[in-house]
Structure 1
């Protein structure tokens, strides 16, 4: 796969696409595969109805305003199905006709017919109602003034019928909707989590029987590129389930695209089996216990040691340069300890809860409504400023530029904190099934060569971090600070590019657990989806059609070639590609969704689009929660100290 390199001067994740590999002497195009059969384009109404597999945490609730009801038939909002005084059919006009088709939600509400066009008045007849009372009926006259047949009549109910009480079986069905009955039979087979992921089992002789039976019933061809016979392990040989796949890349990344069969295998049969326990791995009685579980005394002692060393280095440098004065704060420096550093952290966190305009206001002594005596009682203003200046995480004297890469040298001072937090975040929480991989941005407006510009982020410009977050809660499980990429690509290995290697590093330790990874088009590619599938992940997200291995039929497809609601899709075994024209042309990639539609807010959408909108916002949800407590908003001249406050 081609290299995708972010410009350090602020081009960010935009830039030119990956459809062309540029060299110094010119450019060469990558060979595009062709589909083995002509791809079919369908309207979204022609797709089989499906259902989303993911439910939003907070479903959208539209505000429903009460209808404006007029008192007279001549009023603009007159409703003929409501009681009105002195109903006179002779004053009705065609504008009062309310059409309610069979597919509408008001189909059960009878409506009035159009009056005749010949100018004759419409007679009002009587029809017995459900309770024996007469109900006015309106007849539509024909072209010559004759009344229409009884099938074209509409009944105006005089009163609404009360709802029928639910039967006992209906109540049980509603209470147990979406649940399966527990079986107490002894002969029922208990499903055990498989040690070999479904994608790896596709390479073996013993296929998944459930998938094979479903494919045989639907007459679907499951043939796709397999490795040669010597690579298939025997029944007695142990199966390698290590994170690094041993499959030959020549066969792993051989994509043969064809039309998605209709009907298809159910998505839950293609999805990886997930049976992990989710939630915190350790229970905490108070938030303080959770805090000290992350910032334990071991890492606090490291910060204390480095802070004391750096304070001595600052004082020595100021003495050597002659910039130290008799009233400088550094002359009153005393070595800190772990308890004082915990107090300093508590004040920093409290500043995110109690937001004031400037730092001095927290230590203001005026007895007004904004008086906060707790800050001055725990630490003086000068001591807080001195600790903020001398706070340090790594010894500068141990930084050997000749032994570090450019990226490692830029992150040298903050790297111990990044490594510690990644370890703690992954140990203290078991992630749920859906994970989002995306970027987050810490605002930094000063000059910094690793600054990135992302217009769709709230900060717009700043320090970018790549993060893995739980889609539902926004829990940060692992992150990596962007400081440039080490360019190392290989034409023989499509996942040797910087972006696939980044994704695999972020997901290290989660292999073969059945997680579904949701990513946008910056990360996704068919090669990465196939690699994640062999490591026990599912992969879903948007796609740039200029990626490697995307068939030429989809790459050359523009929005001018498609009509609104048109869908084109293809599959190659465990990877599905889909191009949909809504307001614009959008492409999706998935390892289990297939091709189906679902009605969402009175519109038809592919099921992969609905699930993507639900699960992709994990990192944004985390940023939204952090924005409520802006502890990093304090001005500082050191970028890594602001990033430290952001991730703490």
Structure 2
């Protein structure tokens, strides 16, 4: 294969990953020179302390000893001679069942493999590395000399190679356009990945002043402007809904909408707090949160801040956009997201303003579960919620902070916004999501759904690096790489090529793995290509966010309106982002404590507890005529009808009106209203 490097992974030059995992696994390895008798006469292959306990050290992944895992605390051998290399080989202390199924069953190493393993990296490096000519970062894509030419740029958007060649004499001319790829073998003395990587510039972390107050950070996202917009649209929709019921004759005398009163800003904050509390305290039905039966399942404080009927009424009329603005000439993409568009726009702006991403950025999909009918829902089998609303998200690989997102609305219509740079809906999607990160030196980690050689080159010209998996049938991938099949490659074989600024590599592990990078090249560390090790560390930003959100399922409650459930998902994400900002200032902040403190702060600042049926409120309502023995009495709802439609009614013992409520202790129907001197209070006085 001309222009393609082909060889075994053992033949690759040694390198080291550039990324460090947040929680590195504990590893150990066999070091022959350290295998000396300990004070207790027990041979150990790793350094030990005074108690003979093996200390930690770095090792390669995936090694085993005779097919059996060696525990970290049990590596000493009670024998007079050190263990043989065939028995005592560096191993992993923990391999999950999933990992065993992914990488295949472990086996005893062969003699030649043991020899290669023990002697790997022992050869001295050749001299002459100091004489290597380092190319400026702006010209890194042209690091391999070729024939010099002085052709001028032929069209707009092409690189001025004549000017580049005059800047650094002897440097080869690069591609004359974004789509001019000349694939060749990797150079014998490649530039270090750290030198080829774009230099990270700018700040990273929160952009606000140092604070750990959950309420202050949360209100930076949900400020009074967006909350006032929701209040206005909710009240407007409630009036429209009531008018619609009156015009169609569907409003009954006991319809819940007849008790509507305009929601206020404080009441909307209280509604948010109750929704967030439902994510911390998970129950199977909404009505159970207002249970005041006095048993172990009772949660009376929900009713203390908002009655159930009021919460259901706000939930029913919650709205985010004026229906009168829904014009028939809107694009399909705009029409599908019309109901939730103001919230999406506001959060994208707030998230990006409050936090500067670190150097590693992950771009991936996320899924909000939705099982109902929806023409934009997607099926992603490898997600926990296999069916739902898909969003393309840009997250920080280190913290999981959601920086920008875009909702999938089906196939995109042709757009000319970025076509002058690169053609294709997926590359243009990536460029929209990364807008504002240009020339910052960040590295974008993506999977094979997004990656392509042309996109990698565009990102490189914009001052961004690109790393990830690759589909070998992408345009501009050389035919030699496309023709590679898994069955035609041996385990451990590596094939690759470079165009100077874009590197391609295919590695045969248990499966064929194709990778693309703008700075890695081909190098191996601990039996794996360094690009694979770095990818496994940095690609999980979106998954890390989803994992932290799954503990507090705010959007779990069912609803028949998809955009309301998606809104609760966005509310949940905003709390997580606020927590990440707080954790940047104080590492000791706990996620659950942050949420509970936020809920308490919102209720304290925007609500006064309503009069409830607990002992103190009853005494304050009825005065001295109500004795403490009434604590055993509490109002509740009459059971539903046998056919499931409606609820039973009985005549009130005081006002003689028919009511749904009764005192369970007295078994007497009584009207109850915590806002006035109701029949329930009069009866028990």
Shift of 1:516: 0.3
Shift of 1:234: 10
Equivalent runs, 1:425-440 vs 2, <5 Å: 425-440=351-366
- Is 1:39 matched with 2:4? yes
Shift of 1:358: 1.1
Shift of 1:198: 7.0
Find the counterpart in structure 2 of residue 81 from structure 1.
Answer: 80
Shift of 1:319: 1.3
Whether contact under 8 Å (2:151, 2:161) holds in the other structure is no
| Distance change >3 Å, CA 533–CA 448, structure 1 → 2 | same
Whether contact under 8 Å (1:226, 1:251) holds in the other structure is no
Shift of 1:98: 5.0
Whether contact under 8 Å (1:518, 1:541) holds in the other structure is yes
Deviations, residues 243-275 of structure 1 (Å, cap 9, x unaligned): xxxxx9961220000011122100011111102
- Is 1:289 matched with 2:216? yes
Deviations, residues 480-528 of structure 1 (Å, cap 9, x unaligned): 0001132328999682211001000000011100110000000000000
Find the counterpart in structure 1 of residue 256 from structure 2.
Answer: 329
Q: For 1:464, what is the secondary structure of its paired residue? A: strand
Deviations, residues 516-544 of structure 1 (Å, cap 9, x unaligned): 00000000000000000111100000000
CA distance in 1, matches of 2:379, 2:148: 42
Q: For 1:439, what is the secondary structure of its paired residue? A: strand
Q: 2:531 aligns with which of 608, 611, 625?
A: 608
Shift of 1:278: 1.2
Q: 2:349 aligns with which of 412, 419, 423?
A: 423
Q: For 1:567, what is the secondary structure of its paired residue? A: strand
Find the counterpart in structure 2 of residue 446 from structure 1.
Answer: 372
Whether contact under 8 Å (2:379, 2:387) holds in the other structure is yes
Find the counterpart in structure 1 of residue 18 from structure 2.
Answer: 53
Deviations, residues 519-570 of structure 1 (Å, cap 9, x unaligned): 0000000000000011110000000010010000001111111100000010
Find the counterpart in structure 1 of residue 566 from structure 2.
Answer: 643
Find the counterpart in structure 2 of residue 191 from structure 1.
Answer: none
Q: 2:84 aligns with which of 99, 112, 117?
A: 99
Find the counterpart in structure 2 of residue 589 from structure 1.
Answer: 516
Q: 1:557 aligns with which of 481, 484, 493?
A: 484
Whether contact under 8 Å (2:359, 2:442) holds in the other structure is yes
Gaps of 5+ in 2: 28-69, 92-134, 168-173, 572-685
Deviations, residues 420-457 of structure 1 (Å, cap 9, x unaligned): 00000000001100000000000000011111000000
Deviations, residues 163-215 of structure 1 (Å, cap 9, x unaligned): xxxxxxxxxxxxxxxxxxxxxxxxxxxxxxxxxx977x32xxxxx7xx99xx6
Deviations, residues 355-401 of structure 1 (Å, cap 9, x unaligned): 11211111111222333222111111000000001000001111002
Equivalent runs, 1:23-422 vs 2, <5 Å: 37-61=2-26, 64=71, 66-67=73-74, 79-81=78-80, 98-100=83-85, 104=89, 201-202=138-139, 220-221=144-145, 228=152, 232=160, 251-282=177-208, 283-402=210-329, 404-422=330-348
CA distance in 1, matches of 2:447, 2:411: 19
- Is 1:455 matched with 2:381? yes
Whether contact under 8 Å (2:150, 2:162) holds in the other structure is no
CA distance in 1, matches of 2:274, 2:148: 60
Q: Is 438-447 or 223-232 further displaced after alignment?
A: 223-232
Whether contact under 8 Å (2:4, 2:184) holds in the other structure is yes
Find the counterpart in structure 2 of residue 529 from structure 1.
Answer: 456
Higher relative contact order (CA 8 A, sep 6+): 1
Find the counterpart in structure 1 of residue 635 from structure 2.
Answer: none
Equivalent runs, 1:512-527 vs 2, <5 Å: 512-527=439-454
C-alpha root-mean-square deviation of aligned residues, in Å?
3.0
CA distance in 1, matches of 2:291, 2:318: 24
| Distance change >3 Å, CA 383–CA 548, structure 1 → 2 | same
Shift of 1:61: 3.5
Equivalent runs, 1:460-609 vs 2, <5 Å: 460-488=386-414, 495-599=422-526, 604-609=527-532
Whether contact under 8 Å (1:463, 1:482) holds in the other structure is yes
Whether contact under 8 Å (1:494, 1:527) holds in the other structure is no
Whether contact under 8 Å (1:541, 1:589) holds in the other structure is yes
Q: For 1:557, what is the secondary structure of its paired residue? A: coil
| Distance change >3 Å, CA 103–CA 443, structure 1 → 2 | same
Whether contact under 8 Å (1:223, 1:573) holds in the other structure is no
Whether contact under 8 Å (2:150, 2:161) holds in the other structure is no
CA distance in 2, matches of 1:409, 1:354: 36
| Distance change >3 Å, CA 233–CA 298, structure 1 → 2 | farther
Structure having the higher helix fraction is 2
CA distance in 2, matches of 1:249, 1:41: 24
Query: Normalising by the residue count of structure 1, what TM-score does the alignment of the two structures yield?
Result: 0.69
| Distance change >3 Å, CA 81–CA 372, structure 1 → 2 | farther
| Distance change >3 Å, CA 374–CA 549, structure 1 → 2 | same
CA distance in 2, matches of 1:102, 1:263: 37
**Number of aligned pairs?**
472
Q: For 2:556, what is the secondary structure of its paired residue? A: coil
Whether contact under 8 Å (1:577, 1:587) holds in the other structure is yes
| Distance change >3 Å, CA 637–CA 102, structure 1 → 2 | closer
Whether contact under 8 Å (1:436, 1:471) holds in the other structure is yes
CA distance in 1, matches of 2:510, 2:243: 64
- Is 1:622 matched with 2:545? yes
CA distance in 2, matches of 1:465, 1:232: 38
CA distance in 2, matches of 1:222, 1:532: 24
Whether contact under 8 Å (1:272, 1:515) holds in the other structure is yes
Q: For 1:389, what is the secondary structure of its paired residue? A: helix
Q: For 1:469, what is the secondary structure of its paired residue? A: strand
Whether contact under 8 Å (2:360, 2:398) holds in the other structure is yes
Whether contact under 8 Å (1:227, 1:251) holds in the other structure is no
Find the counterpart in structure 2 of residue 157 from structure 1.
Answer: none
Q: For 2:366, what is the secondary structure of its paired residue? A: strand
Whether contact under 8 Å (1:43, 1:566) holds in the other structure is yes
